[in-house]
């Protein structure tokens, strides 16, 4: 999206939210932000003064003070409005449905979805809407979850695993399932999403509360300071009007950050929603920004989760490859044939790897062996190997090294020691070796070589972990694999540490150990056995495909069920904190510059020496005050896009981030008002103030 398009869209949003901003002028709403409430009270006071003693100056100040309050409300309204469209979509998904509830005697009764209670069992058939959140306890079905995830592809939900959770409002496409209801009506997943994306249930976070207290304290100090000015002015014989004092107060207090604070928090939650992540609280978003330890599951997060064939190693020596032995072509052919009927991801990867080295004609001939009467031998837990018996009597086998070697030995063949050496080398490297052997008619079986299967690390993971390291975040890989395999994967992925052969108790112990050191911990999980660790961690991200127990224990739910999303969540959390800090710095720096406009203007008549502080060369005292008030209002509108989009986050150390923000938003916050107020003064100085 181009900058001009973004500005056009923002302008439309401002116009659309104007009525809502006017409604937010209600004092029952405004008082929630102490800084804006002070401006609201000041606007009310100057309105009364302007009515009783009308003047161009009084009415100009009054109008721009009301504009300041209105712009502050508009910033919040625009931030809230961004979730309206998604909330409308979710409400459409939350249709009134009926449910077939199973009674204790096994019969079925039709009831309204709103009458379901926790523990009820409901039967859902193809084409029907799931009436409430729950877990599948019987059956397996494909479910359309596009209403909540935006993903059109259906997903599988089945009983007895970690992919049993279903969401009310989604539709069963095939087969039938029995669902145990786990939430009460009005508290479903979609209900919580609607409340959160609209901002209606958003609670202020600890950091936001702390900053609000700081801003309130500064406001009280400046109120007292302004109140003390009038007696001194009277004593000096230059009494100030109420309008001038109110204008001074509004320009002294941190109006900018006070106006944008709520919008920043709402926008941070909205950015998570745009990434299809539902944060149960703003506290979790902020905690993500302060995370220092990241626990990542190996399977499906760091690696693809399915072992893949990475190379075919032919055996050398007697009975193998080389002089008098099988060549590489024979190994490729045997690996291809033995995996044709293997529909596992590992088998498919072997076919793909072997196909790259075979001529097209050979592949086409092999693809027709089933039609020629070949018999495929499926893998079983007992034999631990698979293969094919061709029509000409040739037998090909592929499988675990000990199983295939035993098959070779039973039929009078020998396994070259080189094969066993390759098997041991692969195993020590953390991979899985599969031996390929063949037996031709009238010959003893031979071991042709070894397939190297390994859990492949996803592309770009090492670079992402380098970025996290630059952010000061320590990464720990959690896996149930043996330490040898874990060591290999950890080194390839570039994580800082790993926990091998991990149990739920081990995960809990690791999290508590990290937290005892003062670090915040984030982790992902999807199973019931992950629930204790998710609850213990500071940022627990549950997969939407996971169990209800995992989603209830976590404080975030990833609707896409992408474990790598945790890295994006950390970045969004940091962006939220940086945005709030940057705009706070900018706001306070703005106030410093405004002092040079207001203070000299108030007392230059009484103390001519103050003219030296009028570095902007403003025309008159009244034009200086009005220009400062106008700039104070307009800067809120100017910063709304930044508060919604967020300050761009670049992975780097805290010192570098602080230096950059001080230069950009600190120094920039001082310079901008000098330029802005001067330009406004050039215009307002021609008004009859």
Which CA distances in Å does 572 have to 120, 201, 327, 650? 38, 20, 54, 11
Is 364 annotated as belonging to a binding site? no
Any bridge partners for residue 686, and if so which?
A: none
**324 SS3 class:** coil
**Has 297 been annotated as catalytic?**
yes
Query: Of the candidates 418, 319, 399, 439, which has an alpha carbon nearest to the alpha carbon of residue 327?
Result: 319
342 assigned to a ligand binding site: yes
Of 304, 300, 295, whose CA–CA distance to 566 is shortest? 295
CB atoms within 10 A of CB 1: 7
Nearest-angstrom CA–CA distance, 364 and 360: 6
CB 322 within 8 A of CB 501: no
Q: Is 381 flagged in the annotation as binding?
A: yes
CA distance 277 to 268: 11
- In the 8-state DSSP scheme, what is residue 667? I
Q: Is 591 annotated as a binding residue?
A: no
Q: Which residues of 315-440 form beta strands (DSSP E)? A: 375-377, 385-389, 395-400, 432-439
Q: Does 596 carry a binding-site annotation? A: no
**In sequence order, what DSSP letters do the residues of 75-121 get, joined into one string?**
HHHHHHHTTHHHHHHHHHHS---EEEEEPTTS-EEEEEGGG--TT-E
Residue 120's Cα: distance from chain center in Å? 33
Count of beta carbons in the 10 Å neighbourhood of residue 8: 12
From residue 560, how far is each of 183, 303, 472 by CA, in Å?
21, 17, 27
Distance, CA of 480 to CA of 487 (rounded, Å): 12
Q: How many helices (H) does the chain have, and how many strands (E)?
A: 26, 21
Is 384 annotated to bind ligand? Answer: yes
Distance separating the N- and C-terminal Cα atoms of the chain: 43
- Tell me whether residue 526 is annotated as binding: yes
Closest by CA to 389, choosing from 413, 367, 369, 363, is 369
Nearest alpha-carbon partner for 481 in 464, 496, 502, 462: 502
Q: Is 379 annotated as a binding residue?
A: yes
DSSP SS3 for 97 = coil
Among 193, 202, 220, 191, smallest CA distance to 263 is for: 202
Looking at 270, 297, 481, 538, which residue is catalytic?
A: 297
472 DSSP 8-state letter: T
Question: Is residue 530 a known part of a binding site?
Answer: yes
**What are the residue ranges of helices labelled H in 537-618?**
548-553, 565-603
Would you list the DSSP string of 573-586? HHHHHHHHHHHHHH
Instruction: Report whether 105 belongs to an annotated binding site.
Output: no
Binding residues: 342, 346, 379-386, 398, 526, 530
Tell me the binding residues for ATP: 342, 346, 379-386, 398
The annotation places the binding site for Mg(2+) at: 526, 530
The catalytic residues are: 297
């Amino acid at each position: 999206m181009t900058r001009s398009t973004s500005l056009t869209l923002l302008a439309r949003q401002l116009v659309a939210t104007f009525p809502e901003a006017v409604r937010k002028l209600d004092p029952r709403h405004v008082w929630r932000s102490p800084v804006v409430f002070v401006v609201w009270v000041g606007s009310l006071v100057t309105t009364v003064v302007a009515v009783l003693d009308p003047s161009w100056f009084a009415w100009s100040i009054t109008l721009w003070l009301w504009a300041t309050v209105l712009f502050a409300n508009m910033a919040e309204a625009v931030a809230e409005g961004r979730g309206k469209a998604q909330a409308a979509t979710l409400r459409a998904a939350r249709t009134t449905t009926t449910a077939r509830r199973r009674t204790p005697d096994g019969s079925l009764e039709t009831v309204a979805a709103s009458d379901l209670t926790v523990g009820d069992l409901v039967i859902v058939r193809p084409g029907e809407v799931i009436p409430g959140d729950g877990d599948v306890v019987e059956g397996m079905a494909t479910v359309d979850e596009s209403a909540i995830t935006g993903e059109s592809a259906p997903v599988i939900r089945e009983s007895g695993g970690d992919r049993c959770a279903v969401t009310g409002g989604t539709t069963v496409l095939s087969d039938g399932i029995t669902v145990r209801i786990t939430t009460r009506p009005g508290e479903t997943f979609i209900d919580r999403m609607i409340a959160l994306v609209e901002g209606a249930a958003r609670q202020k976070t600890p950091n936001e509360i702390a900053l609000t207290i700081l801003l309130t304290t500064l406001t009280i100090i400046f109120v007292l300071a302004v109140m003390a000015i009038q007696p001194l002015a009277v004593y000096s014989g230059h009494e100030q009007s109420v309008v001038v004092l109110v204008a001074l107060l509004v320009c002294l207090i941190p109006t900018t950050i006070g106006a944008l604070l709520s919008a920043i928090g709402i926008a941070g939650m909205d950015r998570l929603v745009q990434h299809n992540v539902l944060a149960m609280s703003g506290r979790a978003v902020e905690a993500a920004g302060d995370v220092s330890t990241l626990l990542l599951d190996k399977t499906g997060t760091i690696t693809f989760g399915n072992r893949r064939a990475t190379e075919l190693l032919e055996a050398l020596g007697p009975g193998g490859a080389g002089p008098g032995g099988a060549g590489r072509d024979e190994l490729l052919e045997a690996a291809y044939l033995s995996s044709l009927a293997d529909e596992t991801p590992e088998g498919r990867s072997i076919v793909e790897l072997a196909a790259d080295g075979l001529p097209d004609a050979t592949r086409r001939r092999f693809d027709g062996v089933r039609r020629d009467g070949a018999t495929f031998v499926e893998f079983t837990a007992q034999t631990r190997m698979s293969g094919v018996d061709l029509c000409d009597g040739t037998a090909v086998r592929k499988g675990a090294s000990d199983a295939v070697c035993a098959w070779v030995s039973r039929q009078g063949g020998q396994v070259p020691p080189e094969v066993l050496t390759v098997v041991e080398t692969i195993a020590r490297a953390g991979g899985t070796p599969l031996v390929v052997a063949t037996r031709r008619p009238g010959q003893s079986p031979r071991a042709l070589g070894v397939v190297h299967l390994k859990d492949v690390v996803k592309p770009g993971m090492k670079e992402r972990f380098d970025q996290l390291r630059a952010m000061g975040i320590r990464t720990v890989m959690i896996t149930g694999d043996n330490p040898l395999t874990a060591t290999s994967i950890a080194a390839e992925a570039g994580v800082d540490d790993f926990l091998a052969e991990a149990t739920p108790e081990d995960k809990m112990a690791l999290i508590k150990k990290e937290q005892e050191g003062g670090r915040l911990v984030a982790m992902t999980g999807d199973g019931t056995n992950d629930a204790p660790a998710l609850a213990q961690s500071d940022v627990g991200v549950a997969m939407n495909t996971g169990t209800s127990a995992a989603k209830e224990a976590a404080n975030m739910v990833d609707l896409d069920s992408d474990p790598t999303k945790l890295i994006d969540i950390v970045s969004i959390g940091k962006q939220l904190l940086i945005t709030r800090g940057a705009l706070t710095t900018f706001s306070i720096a703005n106030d410093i510059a405004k002092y040079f406009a207001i203070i000299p203007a108030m007392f230059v008549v009484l103390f001519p020496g103050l003219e030296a502080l009028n570095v902007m060369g403003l025309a008159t005292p009244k034009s200086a005050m009005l220009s400062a008030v106008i700039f104070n209002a307009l800067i809120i509108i100017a910063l709304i896009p930044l508060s919604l989009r967020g300050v761009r986050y670049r992975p780097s150390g805290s010192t570098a981030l602080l230096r950059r923000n001080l230069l950009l938003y600190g120094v920039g916050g001082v310079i901008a008002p000098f330029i802005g107020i001067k330009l406004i003064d050039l215009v307002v100085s021609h008004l009859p103030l």
